[in-house]
Homo-oligomer: A and B are copies of this chain.
C-alpha cells in the first residue's frame, strides 16, 4: 500500500484517546470495550485507505465527529478503529448564488453558521441539534432540533454526499441541482444510516436566507393536555411557526431553580415557547393568528417579545433547559435523555402516561417537546450505582418506547438507534422490515459486518 503520510499523525493508540472516543457521559448506554486505535484522516483518500485496510482484515470502523450522540453511537463493542474527523472540519466551497455550501464531516453546525454570518451572504444552515454536533454525525442520525417544524430534518438539507464504501471505493451520490429525480436517491438512505452503510467524507448542504425579523412568544397553560391541544390546533391551522416547543411544569420549575434566566421567574405550569420569523408584517400576522387560536384554550399570561433583547431573554429559558436539569444532579447521579415521536392526536396521552410512570417509580423527570413535530424528550435523573433506580429508569424508557410504538409512533424521533435502541427498532418495524434493512447493509454496501 502506498505511504500516505507519517502514520503517527494518522493513528493513535493512546489509552486516553481510545477512552475519549468510546465512552460518552451523555449517552444512555456505554459498552465495556474500546476501539484498538483512533484514526485521524485528513482527506477522502485517507479514509479510503483506512477502509481498504480494515476491509482486508475485517476490522470494524466507527466514524466519530462531534461525539454528542445519546444512544451509544460511538461505542466499539467489537473493537476496531474509531475514525475521527477533527482534521476534516472545513467549509470547502460556498456557492452564494446557488444557496448551497460544500463542507467536511468534522465541521460543527454552529461553526458553519458563524462562518456563514461572517461571509455577509445572509444565508444560514437551519438544522440545530446539540451545539457541539458536527455534520458527519448529523447526517448519521438524521438529526433535527427546534427549527424542524419550519425547516424539516437533516435529510431535507443534504444535496449530495461523497462517501467511502466498506471496500474503500469512493462515490459521490449526486451533483448540485435544487431538485432531482435521477436514479435512486442514495442520499435518502445514507442520511440516518448511522455510519453502518458508508463513511461520509464531504457533503453539499442547502442553505436558507436568514429571516429579516424574528420574535418569541411564551404562553403558559393550566395543564399539559391543554398546552398540547393548543399546539396541535396551531399546527392544524397551518400557522408557519419557526419553532414550537413545550416544557412541562417540572422543567419550568427547574429553570427557576437554576436561576440562569433571573430576574425573570416563570410560571411553573406547562408552557409553550413559539418562535416566529419572516418580515415584520408576517411575524405580526402569525402572532395575531396564534393569539386568536390560544384564546380558546384559556392560556395564562402571554409574554410577547417587544424587541430583540426581550426575544433573547424569553428564548433563553428554552435554551437553558438542558443545562438547568444537568445542574440538579447530585454526586453520582446521571441524566437519561430519551426521545419518541407519535401521531399528533396521541401526543398528550403519551406524554401524560410517561410522566405518570416516572412519578410512580419515584424518579425526577422533566418533559420537553418539539410539539410542532409531535416529538418529545423525557429527561430523567437517576443514580446508576443504585440497582433499583437503574431498573426504574429503564422501565420508564421502555414504557415510553412501547407506548409510542403502540400508537403508531417511533422509538426515536431524532436521536437515532445506536446501541441503546436496537431492540426497540425491531419492536417498531417488525422482523421482516428489519431484515430488509440488514440485507441492505450487509449486501448493498458490504458494511454491516464491520460496524455491528
Contacts and interface: CB of A to CB of B under 8 A. Distances in A.
A155 B188 contact: yes
Contacts of A8: none
A408 interface: yes
B175 A408 contact: yes
A208 B238 contact: yes
A284 B285 CA distance: 11
Interface in A391-433: 404-405, 408-417, 421, 424-425, 428-430, 432-433
Interface stretch (A253-261, A353-361, A438-446): A438-446
A139 to B, nearest CB: 11
Contacts of A183: 192, 417, 425, 428-429, 433-434, 437
Interface stretch (A21-29, A96-104, A316-324): A96-104
Given A176-B408, A444-B443, A141 B181 contact: yes
Nearest to A342: B177
A142 interface: yes
A179 B374 contact: yes
A193 interface: yes
The DSSP consensus for interface residues of chain A is: mixed
A201 B20 CA distance: 47
Interface stretch (A74-82, A265-273, A274-282): A274-282
Given A183-B434, A186-B433, A433-B172, A343 B410 contact: no
Interface in A170-192: 170-189, 191-192
Size category, A interface: 35 or more
A148 interface: yes
Contact of A436 (B186, B237, B238, B424): B186
Contacts of A441: 184
A340 B153 CA distance: 26
Given A97-B344, A281-B285, A443-B444, A433 B181 contact: no
B99 A185 contact: no
Nearest to A425: B183
B185 A409 contact: no
A289 interface: yes
19 contacts: A141-B181, A143-B181, A155-B185, A155-B188, A173-B429, A179-B410, A180-B412, A180-B413, A181-B192, A182-B429, A183-B192, A184-B437, A184-B441, A189-B189, A279-B289, A285-B285, A439-B443, A439-B444, A444-B444
Interface of A: 95, 97-100, 141-144, 148, 152-153, 155-156, 165, 169-189, 191-193, 197, 208-211, 232, 235-238, 240, 278-279, 281-282, 284-286, 288-289, 340-346, 370, 373-375, 404-405, 408-417, 421, 424-425, 428-430, 432-434, 436-437, 439-441, 443-445
